[in-house]
Structure 1
Amino acid sequence: MRSQPLGQESLTWRYFGDWRGMLQGPWAGSMQNMHPALGAAVTEHSTFESERWQRVMRSLYPIGGVVFDGDRAADTGARIRYYHKDISGLDAHGKPYHALDPDVFYWAHATFFVGTMLTADYFMGGITEAEREQLFVEHRQWYSLYGMSMRPVPETWPDFQRYWDHMCREVLEDTAAARSVLDMSALPRPPFLPWLPRRLWGLLLPGIEKSAVRMTVGLYDPAVRDLLGYNWTDRDERWLRRVGTLVNLAFRMVPARRRMHPRARAGVDIAAGRQPANSPLAETPDRNLPPLSRRDNPRHYVPGR
């Protein structure tokens, strides 16, 4: 039976797909890459190092589509599954892995779910425990749209909390792939800011890196901070909360539709009747596409291929 997509009545539609979610991007990327299999897959197969901005920005489209594509969401989930079908190898311990192993695939989704809660909690004014439980129920529905086995997915919110704690304490590792996410010292100028002088970007980058890493450390669970050797004080927490408050206040001055990623905005517009239901999906602009030599690679999302 085909899984039912999430809709505009869901909390996930409220909190996911908002541009504020980019602030937890380094957290999500590093958390995913601390999984031994995912870290190995990124090291062996990903183009992240050579396409840091492009790889992230184009991935937001299909990932967001599983939430916002309505009746087409399951098809988007199937395409994401297809991108991973031939990604396999051996991890640092010599253990075979495959990107479509249910435990591996679900871990990435678990970070999307927890990242949604972190975004809402720190940068969107906060959420209640009841909302966390509702988001948990919705994340199961969301995950079912990938067509993957539901075996690794916890049944209840307390079960998920135990699962997450176990992963942070017992499974995650300090991998080179996770450290590469946190190393922004050579981060290139964003392709969506072509007007920004490269020299100015170079001057801004050290401060951006310091703040981004500090923010990411604050979003980690204590066990993950310990794993990576970071400290976190009450003063640091107050700093992060102040930053979150300022971000939330600033976004209140942005029109609601402009706070959303294009794929999310398109889904909302279709649900509201502002666009026909069969409107073309919002796809990544050309600036985010992989190099021409890689566009035939089935691992890459390339619109129209």
Structure 2
Amino acid sequence: MTASAHGPDPTGPRTPEPLGPDSLTWRWFGDWRGLLLAPWAGSMQNMHPGLGAGVAEHSRFFEERWERLFRSLYPIGGVVYDGPLAARTAREVRGYHAAISGVDAHGRPYHALNPGTFYWAHATFFMLTVQVAERFGGGLTEPQRHTLFDEHVRWYALYGLSMKPVPGSWGEFQRYWDHMCADVLEDNRPTRDVLSMRRIARPPLLRWLPSPLWALARVPLVRTTLWITVGLYPQTVRDRLGLRWTPHDERLLRLLGRSLHHAWRYVPERYRFHPRARAGWDRERGRPAPAPVETPARNLPPEERRGLPQHYVPRTGPRG
């Protein structure tokens, strides 16, 4: 944790330095393997009482699940990969949450920009990065975990919210994570909705696939995705949700992770990354690239909702 994150800066407030290609976060966060963890991240976020309430009352995520997922990757990824524009992207992401507030079914007020709530969402993205590297990327050393933690603090600081909820070290973060999983997270409807994928629609990129073929492909896809999700949960979360995980399951997941790690080496480097991340790498390597790359039209929300402040809709029209 830097001094500027935890205490006053004697030189006055400064815009935090965005992450760059020398960071471990750049190496892992925009990697397409992170999609394997999308239900894990979404359900872990929704188990937070305030975040789950906001999703339940303000989101239509489950009516356009794939579109919401794929368009969100652009601005969220931009906070990591947009370089000199990263702080602007972070302010835009923060702005999408400004109007999300209310009182949940238990009478508890919530607001998406409550620092503890917003940081929890960020913590899951940080842990997604750690999990991609640990489970599917060959593993991390202990110093690399500390480095990723320090980088996630710089990343979070770009949002301009209170740094009070941010743990002071990787060790403190582990205690924070364990406490949240054991004592704060709840089993609620938005979490169960994330895990309910039996009738999930085709992804936008597969709209050409005949419905009968998608119906056949969906069964193993859903089963494998849910199995991976359960395997990545902490045991306290599995217990809360009543989910079973055996030592045999764990061995199989480790085997899958090692196999994917070795197979991924044969994917050309540029195509291992989401377009927003790829544009960042291109910019740093001197290749011409639009800045920033925006979501294509197929991922946009329905026409009647595009003017709502909580939706990311590129002002200049979709690109990328």
For residues 250 and 188 of structure 1, the distance between their equivalents in structure 2, rounded to whole angstroms, comes to 28
Please, which of 128, 136, 149 is the counterpart of residue 123 of structure 1?
Answer: 136
Partner of 2:3: none
Question: Equivalent residue of 2:102, what SS?
Answer: strand
Shift of 1:272: 1.1
Instruction: Give the percent of matched residue pairs that are identical in Structure 1 and Structure 2.
Output: 58
Are 2:89 and 1:76 equivalent residues in the alignment?
yes
Partner of 2:229: 216
For residues 130 and 42 of structure 1, the distance between their equivalents in structure 2, rounded to whole angstroms, comes to 36
Partner of 1:103: 116
Divergent runs of 4+, >3 A: none
For residues 206 and 228 of structure 1, the distance between their equivalents in structure 2, rounded to whole angstroms, comes to 22
Partner of 1:294: 305
Are 2:285 and 1:285 equivalent residues in the alignment?
no
Structure 1 gap ranges (5+): none
Letter in 2 for 1:286: A
Question: Equivalent residue of 1:97, what SS?
Answer: strand
Are 2:151 and 1:141 equivalent residues in the alignment?
no
Shift of 1:284: 0.4
Question: Equivalent residue of 1:192, what SS?
Answer: helix
1:184-212 Cα shifts (integer Å, max 9, x gaps): 01100110122322211111212211111
Question: Equivalent residue of 2:63, what SS?
Answer: coil
1:104-144 Cα shifts (integer Å, max 9, x gaps): 00000000001110011111111111111100000000000
For residues 66 and 46 of structure 1, the distance between their equivalents in structure 2, rounded to whole angstroms, comes to 22
Are 2:254 and 1:234 equivalent residues in the alignment?
no
Please, which of 174, 187, 190 is the counterpart of residue 177 of structure 1?
Answer: 190
Letter in 2 for 1:234: P
For residues 19 and 52 of structure 1, the distance between their equivalents in structure 2, rounded to whole angstroms, comes to 17
For residues 274 and 214 of structure 1, the distance between their equivalents in structure 2, rounded to whole angstroms, comes to 39
Please, which of 284, 294, 311 is the counterpart of residue 271 of structure 1?
Answer: 284
Shift of 1:246: 2.2
Question: Equivalent residue of 1:17, what SS?
Answer: coil
1:233-275 Cα shifts (integer Å, max 9, x gaps): 1100011112112222222111001000000000111111112
1:137-162 Cα shifts (integer Å, max 9, x gaps): 00000000111111100011111011
Letter in 2 for 1:287: R
Letter in 2 for 1:168: C
Shift of 1:92: 3.1
1:54-83 Cα shifts (integer Å, max 9, x gaps): 000000000000000001000000001110
Shift of 1:27: 0.4
Shift of 1:220: 0.4
Shift of 1:280: 2.8
TM-score normalised by the chain length of structure 1: 0.97
Q: Which moved more, 1:238-247 or 1:152-161?
A: 238-247
Are 2:210 and 1:197 equivalent residues in the alignment?
yes
Partner of 1:47: 60
Please, which of 10, 15, 20 is the counterpart of residue 2 of structure 1?
Answer: 15
Question: Equivalent residue of 2:315, what SS?
Answer: coil
Shift of 1:93: 1.8
Are 2:69 and 1:32 equivalent residues in the alignment?
no
RMSD (Å) for aligned C-alpha atoms = 1.0
Q: Which moved more, 1:194-203 or 1:2-11?
A: 194-203
Please, which of 213, 236, 249 is the counterpart of residue 262 of structure 2?
Answer: 249
Shift of 1:32: 0.0
Question: Equivalent residue of 2:229, what SS?
Answer: helix
Partner of 1:153: 166
Matched positions, count = 303
Task: Check the 8 A contact 1:36/1:92 in 2, yes or no.
Answer: no
Question: Equivalent residue of 1:173, what SS?
Answer: coil
For residues 55 and 204 of structure 1, the distance between their equivalents in structure 2, rounded to whole angstroms, comes to 21
Task: Check the 8 A contact 2:82/2:291 in 1, yes or no.
Answer: no
